[in-house]
Amino acid sequence: MGEVDPAFVQAIEHRPRLKPIEVADDIPVIDLSSVLNPPDHNTTQQIFTRIGAACETWGFFQVVNHGVPAELRRKVEAVAKKFFDGSSEEKRKVKRDEVNPMGYYESEHTKNVRDWKEVFDFVVHDPSQIPASHEPDDKELRILTNQWPQFPAEFREACEDYAREVEKLAYKLLELISMSLGLSANLLNGYFKDQTSFIRLNHYPPCPFPHLALGVGHHKDAGGLTVLAQDDVGGLEVRRKSDREWIPVKPTPDAYIINVGDIIQVWSNEKYESVEHRVVVNSTKERFSIPFFFNPANYTMVKPLDELVNEKNPAKYREYNWGKFLATRSRSDFKKRDVENIQIYHFRVSAN
């Protein structure tokens, strides 16, 4: 990522120190083997009940025996390391821009001191479409296409093979979450026909100021589900709903960390909550993680599901268009770094 900018050092020295609570990891670890090989009705009910409890209590859970081949994960981790270890010149060849946000970028320390990382993004379905702008009357679509580096040579193949397998897991999790809400398993699947999902390869280099800097600042995920692979270094922290303390998520070998995003919070009419999380950095070890952001089609209108709304539980959100929401967030990333991104609470119905 280059030399440490003196302006960055001066900025972070005035940041408050991070104080995550030191506790055991209570985030549930759920074994999916019984719902995959082959599924059993009674066991499936137990699993989606556990998933529902985890979504209500934490907004997060981990899954093991999930069906994603370990060798594919190892392969994509290996090519990611080769790519990030490569020259700045090669990485800049696939650098993202305002026209196409897919590709490589690194944190700009003097503008955004939260993030100590470099990233490569690619869409799961290439090409994908999102609105060209956030303006309500603008019907033009922007085409997102992947930029693949020439080195390492196996980069694209590894990423595409991995994406197909994690997508299968994401659909299975979506079905289990749907059932946990008392809905049919495939009720939500149709929203993802022309999905805008993407995968991010994160590299967090060792940071000389781990007690002052963050790998990623606290945030919530805007989409449907996030399926995260993290290495054994760890660093992910979740804000516990019960007391607002930051809880470290201990790495579990070959597990995936799952969290519900804002869209599921809206669909469930707040039965499930999208929870804040962040990433802390390490002074001696680099860290890699691979989140899969499972997002619906750009034309999806997001609102509380009719099946979960009644007189006693009225809709808590106004309807919004996912594509326009996404376009607004993307525009803010490039144009308004000092302005807060649009959030789902902007669509929340007033309690008064």
Whether the per-residue pLDDT at 7 is higher than 80: the answer is no
CA distances from 296 to 186, 193, 222, 299, 338 (A): 14, 7, 11, 8, 28
So what's the pLDDT on residue 110? Answer: 38
Whether the per-residue pLDDT at 25 is higher than 60: the answer is no
Q: Is residue 152 part of a domain?
A: yes
pLDDT band at 337 (very low <50, low <70, confident <90, very high): very low
**84-98 pLDDT tens trace:** 999 999 999 999 988
So what's the pLDDT on residue 139? Answer: 85
Q: Is residue 96 part of a domain?
A: yes
Q: Is residue 288 part of a domain?
A: yes
Whether the per-residue pLDDT at 254 is higher than 60: the answer is yes
Nearest to 271 by CA among 238, 305, 295: 305
**110-162 pLDDT tens trace:** 344 457 899 999 999 999 999 988 787 888 899 999 999 999 999 999 999 99
Tell me, what CATH number does 337's domain have?
Answer: 2.60.120.330
**37-87 pLDDT tens trace:** 776 778 889 999 999 999 999 999 999 999 999 999 999 999 999 999 999
The number of domains in the chain is 1
Round the average pLDDT of the chain to a whole number and report it.
88
Q: Is residue 1 part of a domain?
A: no
Q: Is residue 197 part of a domain?
A: yes
Q: In what order do the strands lie in the sheet with 287-294?
A: 29-31, 60-64, 256-260, 225-230, 287-294, 198-204, 118-123, 103-106
Instruction: Work out the average pLDDT over 174-195.
Output: 97
Q: For residues 60 and 173, is the Cβ–Cβ distance under 8 A?
A: no
**301-322 pLDDT tens trace:** 999 999 999 999 999 999 999 9
Q: Is residue 316 part of a domain?
A: yes
Q: Is residue 306 part of a domain?
A: yes
Q: In terms of pLDDT, which residue wins out, 350 or 21?
A: 350
Whether the per-residue pLDDT at 210 is higher than 90: the answer is no
So what's the pLDDT on residue 132? Answer: 85
* DSSP letter for each residue of 209-244: -TTT-EEEEEE---SSEEEEEE-TT--EEEE-TTT-
Whether the per-residue pLDDT at 323 is higher than 50: the answer is yes
* DSSP letter for each residue of 114-158: TB--EEEEEESSSSEEEESSS-TT---EEEE-----SSSTTHHHH
The whole domain housing 93 covers: 6-347
The dihedral through the CA atoms of 197, 75, 237, 109 has a sign that is negative
**Angle, CA of 198, 201 and 203, to the nearest 5°:** 155
Q: Is residue 352 part of a domain?
A: no
